Structure 1
């Protein structure tokens, strides 16, 4: 306790206020890292990896899964982001008192993204006061296989995607779009851009070379696309997408994965600098997909 006592003695007014706040609110205060709070204010979904890495004293990718789950339990319970975390082997159950569905969805996405950054794929289901996360190493292995295939056989992108969609759609116990599809899409987008970088010696991404790369990817996916400058921004329109359409309907699972592929590509090229403003979506009944890319 020496370090803790010294910290309290060095800033007694601060710690008295913190302790009183927790006592008066019956421990309903939430204490999070400034970067986590900043992501919340900016509308992003915060992961909280900074706090985890600080405690582990190593990058999040190097933390063993067992240690990672223990750290999540410690951080989420101590910060009061959730009421309680139960670790069941490689699975997690988060107990909370949030009532807003959007808040619960963001909590679910945040923890799934955190575990994905650690190198592990999880499916998540939410109930009234719980988020249940199930480890899916089998799906993670399949994603790795597909990404590896893309690196040696880019011409099979569409076939591999369709085969994998059929595999995932067989998971009957998941009521909404599996988070596995989000992970698959992002990793494919990143992988494609990394391979393009190597083949074309790209050192820095700009709108011009990003557009050229996406035009090549679209041709392999059998999609008809159009690019138009919009001031300092770029408007990207998918006019026809054979890979997501079945007759007159749109497969929402494949459509979701393709969108995540695009997001993964944008994030790899421009990082947090890029903002996406989705204007239209085929899966929402529009006659095309349209997104505005903003990079300051």
Structure 2
């Protein structure tokens, strides 16, 4: 049977193809490319691992050398500004730093914060010099008055009215300080400041006294911020109100006390709070 339009033509038979010619050959170029990339990745990963291993080994060696080396350790710890051996040991203990301590573990600001907690320390400066020696420079508080509390204890107070220490038995140097009585110290702890009006008035009085009066005085008794009793070692007592009034009459008062002493007159007190003159109370 022939198709219409192909009359008189012989039918064309399709040529049978070989099986080998019918299936095209496989292309292995993509596989080779992937394989090459995989091999490159493996080489890169191995190099990275080797490099990290080398870096880790170097870090371990450096750490070992650092911990074995003396160049990064504190060689010595010194305290300057204090002569008392017990206080020096206390500063060293509170600082928390000992020789052979590693420099990178030392926080100088923390050392200063620890030492400043001691009540007899005013300022602290901690430094490490080129020889790896830690120097703790301190400014020690100096007592300006010895306050006797109502309970019998004594408080050593500096010029800032900060309590340096509280003791029942002051030492020899503390006993040389001007003695102040009548101050309420209830609840006061070493390192705290006394800010009541009575201590302020007593401090003004002590600053107004001349060196001769300081030598002769036995104590300054605070009755109120406006009434002070200055008691001398020979028993004379002067009642005053404000330091300015005492300073203005100090020379006359000294002459009056000498006159009464020569005459053998025993007085209970001399009151200088009146503008018109002195009131002498005899026994």
TM-score by length of structure 2 reads: 0.25
More contact order relative to length (CA 8 Å, sep ≥ 6): 1
Tell me which structure has the larger Cα radius of gyration: 2
More helix by share: 1
TM-score by length of structure 1 reads: 0.24
More strand by share: 2
